């Protein structure tokens, strides 16, 4: 399926963005493409994604032309299903060639990770097209590791990721962060708390399990809230859309429960502490806002990359790492109360978070993409 470009789209050189499967691999590409628009308006960003990934729902409303292909990951647990991967790759290769004939040969391929990026990067390399990569996580995924060797530049969300890449690729690595919407300068804490109907002197805990929700985190939160919140604590809790129905009844005088937050700026501005999964984009946003956090990694994430992200952020002093196996209402409450009554430690964590924050990452990466590809 190919998205039709708008009629007023400039007929300039094509720049492919390939990545997806999850939001952590799709949203960085969208942010970089938006940042490129004022820098190189002659370019036409065109997104390549998988029909089975999040891009199926996001790209039609994103404002960029796109092509969705029958791409599949490697089926490690059921290797007999990898015939789907091979068939999809062959079909995708042909579709990319057809796209080049119809729209012109791309001037570059920007790979943002995930199984949706591999074929487009391989196709670009085979046709002598420059490639660059963005890797959001502290432990690079398979696509980044495979294609790092020939990339013109590799932009890293975590500086720790360079240790897991081929030594020769190190010189081309740039730890510029994850491209995010920067913190708003127009929303202050008091206004944000009024927006949420929370007293200005409460200790506000923001709980985010991602767009789909985190069952373990939601269950621990429900048990903690049911016990009665500690004095002076308020909660803004996003359950995830799929999980919402079972938890919306936990709303109370100092508890706000929502299925999802978009935009999330008012919640970040109101928060003293965040309890979240350890996805790269979430951590990037928390660091940009300077919010101390308790990170509960998803234990089934590919290559356990969320645990690596949480450990790196905790070692930097910006977060506490709470493995899901240790998560309970009692443990969560213990950590929250300890931080509530230790403003010095919270301030140190906030400073460490800001030191890692890269609120202007999208613009920096966009300039890096143009430089690496020699595009004026």
Tell me, yes or no, whether 1 lies in a domain.
Answer: no
Strand partners of residue 236: 206, 256
Nearest Cα residue to 55 out of 70, 44, 40, 41: 70
Give 151's DSSP letter: -
Tell me, yes or no, whether 234 lies in a domain.
Answer: yes
- Residue 376's pLDDT band (boundaries 50, 70, 90)? low
The rounded distance, in Å, linking the Cα atoms of 184 and 266 is: 9
Co-location of 135 and 249 in the same domain: no
0.85 exceeded by the pTM? yes
144-200 pLDDT tens trace = 999 999 999 999 999 999 999 988 888 899 999 999 988 988 889 999 999 999 999
Co-location of 170 and 242 in the same domain: no
* pLDDT of residue 4 exceeding 80: no
Co-location of 115 and 248 in the same domain: no
Co-location of 161 and 211 in the same domain: no
The number of folded domains in the chain is 2
**What share of the chain has pLDDT > 70, as a percent?**
96
The rounded distance, in Å, linking the Cα atoms of 270 and 190 is: 7
210-259 pLDDT tens trace = 766 688 999 999 999 999 999 999 999 999 887 788 888 889 999 999 99
Tell me, yes or no, whether 341 lies in a domain.
Answer: yes
Co-location of 211 and 314 in the same domain: yes
Tell me, yes or no, whether 6 lies in a domain.
Answer: no
282-310 pLDDT tens trace = 999 999 999 999 999 999 888 889 999 99
Task: With H, G, I as helix, E, B as strand and everything else as coil, classify residue 53.
Answer: coil
Tell me, yes or no, whether 130 lies in a domain.
Answer: yes
pLDDT for res 114:
85
Nearest Cα residue to 99 out of 109, 86, 85: 109
Tell me, yes or no, whether 4 lies in a domain.
Answer: no
CATH code, 242: 3.40.50.2000
Nearest Cα residue to 121 out of 140, 98, 138, 144: 144
Co-location of 336 and 208 in the same domain: yes
Co-location of 90 and 125 in the same domain: yes
Question: Could you tell me the residue range of the domain that residue 327 belongs to?
Answer: 189-356
pLDDT for res 325:
95
Tell me, yes or no, whether 9 lies in a domain.
Answer: no
Co-location of 239 and 264 in the same domain: yes
Strand partners of residue 294: 275, 320
Co-location of 296 and 365 in the same domain: no
Co-location of 217 and 259 in the same domain: yes
Q: Name 224's Cβ contacts closer than 8 Å, sequence gap at least 6.
A: 329, 332, 333
- Residue 3's pLDDT band (boundaries 50, 70, 90)? low
Tell me, yes or no, whether 106 lies in a domain.
Answer: yes
Co-location of 252 and 368 in the same domain: no
Rounded (10°) CA dihedral 186, 188, 193, 199? -150
Co-location of 253 and 109 in the same domain: no
């Amino acid at each position: 399926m190919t998205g039709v470009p708008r009629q007023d789209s400039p007929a300039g050189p094509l720049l492919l963005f390939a990545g997806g499967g999850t939001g952590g691999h799709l949203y960085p590409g969208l942010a970089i493409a938006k940042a490129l628009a004022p820098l190189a308006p002659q370019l036409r960003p065109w997104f390549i994604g998988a029909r089975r990934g999040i891009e199926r729902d996001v790209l039609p409303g994103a404002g960029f032309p796109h092509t969705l292909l029958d791409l599949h990951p490697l089926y490690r647990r059921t290797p007999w299903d990898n015939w789907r991967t091979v068939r999809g790759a062959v079909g995708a290769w042909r579709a990319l060639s057809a796209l080049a004939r119809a729209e012109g040969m791309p001037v570059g391929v920007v790979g943002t990770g995930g199984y949706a990026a591999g074929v487009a990067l391989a196709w670009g390399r085979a046709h002598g097209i420059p490639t660059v990569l963005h890797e959001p996580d502290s432990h690079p995924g398979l696509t980044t590791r495979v294609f790092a060797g020939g990339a013109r530049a590799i932009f890293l969300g975590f500086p720790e990721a360079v240790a897991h890449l081929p030594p020769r690729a190190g010189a081309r690595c740039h730890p510029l962060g994850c491209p995010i919407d920067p913190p708003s300068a127009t929303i202050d804490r008091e206004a944000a708390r009024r927006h949420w109907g929370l007293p200005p002197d409460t200790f506000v805990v923001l709980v985010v399990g991602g767009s789909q929700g985190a069952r373990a985190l939601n269950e621990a939160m429900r048990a903690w809230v049911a016990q009665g919140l500690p004095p002076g604590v308020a909660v803004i809790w996003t359950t995830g859309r799929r999980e919402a129905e079972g938890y919306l009844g936990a709303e109370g005088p100092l508890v706000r429960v929502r299925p999802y937050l978009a935009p999330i700026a008012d919640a970040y501005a109101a928060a003293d502490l965040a309890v979240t999964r350890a996805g790269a984009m979430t951590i990037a946003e928390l660091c940009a806002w300077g919010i101390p956090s308790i990170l509960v990694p998803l234990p089934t994430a590919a290559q356990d990359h969320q645990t690596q992200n949480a450990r790196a952020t905790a070692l930097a002093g910006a977060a506490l790492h709470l493995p899901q196996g240790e998560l309970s209402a009692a443990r969560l409450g213990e950590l929250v109360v300890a931080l509530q009554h230790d403003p010095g430690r919270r301030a140190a964590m906030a400073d460490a978070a800001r030191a890692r924050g890269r609120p202007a990452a999208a613009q920096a990466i966009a300039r890096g993409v143009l430089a690496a590809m020699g595009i004026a």
